[in-house]
């Protein structure tokens, strides 16, 4: 495996950074465009491994998906809620969004579809989604009986009805059912049982559905209702810059006492991870919300925070990586569900911070991190793009921080290190 050493910055960064499109926004738009009637154009899309798996899977299902990476554009011809192929073998790597969204979409088809991924994907739970599909008249099962991929979907359409899903594992299960709900015969009601993690991603899902012409009614509980008879309409759709990716560059400003502006993101962003700047503000950063940008100015010294990041857990890795540089301890909670993501993120963060000499207490749902003189060392990334990008930010302040297998960032941000070097 290649190791990349991050060169530390000798002065504060000063930059305006134009980011690639949101992975979450792009994959939702790709699926809804495929389910719509007519041809949609998706502008500002992300071109990375995760969106590539999604696009190729849709092609394998018989949809016309034309990609134009140079223009950051996908053109998708939908089939009005039908799945053109009657058989398909879909490989989705370690792309969790693709796995969940495609499993639900295949239930609308009429045929047999198999979905699988890399070994880590075979450890990532999908049973709550399979149970939800069963409650709506779908047939899908874990082939190995583990509750994880590979999955076999025997498509026969969805009758609809009410599905009750746990909210504490992944909001993607709920998003997956919501997005296919318009094509269920009787409409769909989804009732969430227990605490809900990553709730802003459901706001993103319903916003993209509305952009393509389908309304979701929400009620306390939470409870989501998609009335029968609605259909997606083809359209031109623009993807927002990736708010999770923005966290690394805002954090770069925070740790160097510099300034970073991200155009295209505002307080009205559909992505919940934009709230990471509120965490940075609590650590002492100055945040400017412009009409078409967000800017972060780092302080002379960061202070620690105590924060529940259940709703913005992808950015918890960014916070954990820079927390040792604060003057007081940091406690991060609400991360139990991240143990089932690309890796066990809570344990991985604790292990790698300890490798760098940082005092860390691993909690069932988070971390308690104390300030420390961070030592040089090589960070194991566990093939997790977010671990690589988060610790790269730490390397801007601490000499000698190396990253094992830095290529893992291709999952969502192929040219991340070039953009970091250009700050």
* SS3 letters across 141-187: EECCCCCCCCEEEEEECCCCEEEEEECCCCHHHHHHHHHHHHHCCCC
Largest interatomic CA distance in the chain: 62
For helices 23-35 and 49-60, the axis angle rounded to 10 degrees is: 10
> Which positions are annotated as active-site residues?
314
Q: What Cα–Cα distance (Å) separates residue 314 from each residue in 3, 45, 114, 242, 245? A: 23, 20, 28, 12, 10
Q: Of the candidates 2, 73, 80, which has an alpha carbon nearest to the alpha carbon of residue 36? A: 80
Which letter does DSSP use for residue 421 in this model? H
CA 407 to chain centre: 18
Q: Which residues, in sequence order, are CB contacts of 164 under 8 Å at separation 6+? A: 132, 135, 190, 191, 192, 193
As a whole number of angstroms, the distance between CA 96 and CA 104 comes to 13
As a whole number of angstroms, the distance between CA 121 and CA 281 comes to 36
Note whether 226 and 178 are within 8 A (CB).
yes
3-state class of 324 per DSSP? helix
Token representation of residue 58: 């849709």
Residue 205's H or E segment, with its range, is helix 199-211
Q: Of the candidates 109, 95, 96, 136, which has an alpha carbon nearest to the alpha carbon of residue 35? A: 109
Instruction: Quickly count: other Cβ atoms within 10 Å of residue 360's Cβ.
Output: 20
């Amino acid at each position: 495996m290649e190791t990349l050493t991050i060169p530390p910055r000798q002065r504060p960064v000063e930059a305006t950074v134009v980011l690639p499109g949101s992975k979450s926004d792009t994959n939702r738009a790709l699926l809804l465009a495929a389910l719509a009637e007519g041809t949609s154009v998706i502008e500002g899309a992300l071109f990375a491994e995760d969106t590539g798996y999604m696009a190729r899977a849709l092609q394998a299902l018989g949809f016309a998906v034309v990609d134009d990476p140079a223009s950051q554009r996908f053109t998708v011809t939908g089939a009005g809620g039908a799945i053109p192929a009657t058989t398909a073998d879909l490989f989705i790597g370690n792309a969790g969004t693709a796995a969940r969204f495609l499993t639900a979409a295949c239930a609308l088809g009429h045929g047999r579809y198999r979905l699988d991924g890399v070994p880590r994907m075979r450890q990532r739970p999908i049973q709550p989604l399979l149970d939800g599909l069963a409650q709506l008249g779908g047939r899908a099962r874990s082939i190995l009986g583990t509750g994880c991929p590979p999955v076999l979907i025997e498509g026969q359409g969805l009758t609809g009805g009410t599905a009750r899903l746990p909210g504490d594992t992944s909001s993607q299960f709920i998003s997956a059912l919501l997005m296919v709900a318009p094509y269920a015969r009787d409409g769909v009601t989804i009732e969430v049982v227990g605490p809900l993690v990553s709730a802003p991603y459901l706001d993103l899902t319903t916003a993209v559905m509305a952009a393509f012409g389908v309304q979701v009614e929400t009620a306390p509980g939470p409870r989501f209702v998609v009335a029968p008879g609605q259909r997606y309409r083809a359209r031109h759709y623009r993807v927002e810059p990736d708010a999770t990716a923005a966290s690394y560059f805002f954090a770069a400003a925070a740790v160097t006492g510099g300034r970073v502006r991200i155009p295209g993101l505002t307080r009205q962003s559909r992505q919940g991870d934009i709230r990471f700047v509120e965490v940075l503000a609590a650590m002492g950063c100055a945040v400017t919300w412009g009409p078409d940008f967000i800017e972060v100015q780092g302080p002379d010294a960061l202070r620690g925070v105590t924060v529940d990041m259940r709703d913005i857990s992808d950015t918890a890795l960014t916070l954990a990586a820079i927390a040792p540089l604060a003057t007081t301890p940091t406690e991060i909670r609400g991360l139990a569900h991240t143990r089932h993501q690309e890796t066990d993120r809570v344990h991985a963060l604790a292990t790698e911070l300890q490798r760098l000499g940082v005092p860390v207490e691993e909690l069932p749902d988070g971390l308690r991190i104390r300030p420390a003189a961070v030592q040089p060392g090589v960070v194991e990334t566990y093939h997790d793009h977010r671990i690589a990008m988060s610790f790269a930010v730490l390397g801007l302040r601490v000499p000698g921080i190396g990253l094992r297998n830095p290529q893992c960032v291709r999952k969502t941000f192929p040219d991340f290190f070039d953009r970091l070097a250009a700050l």
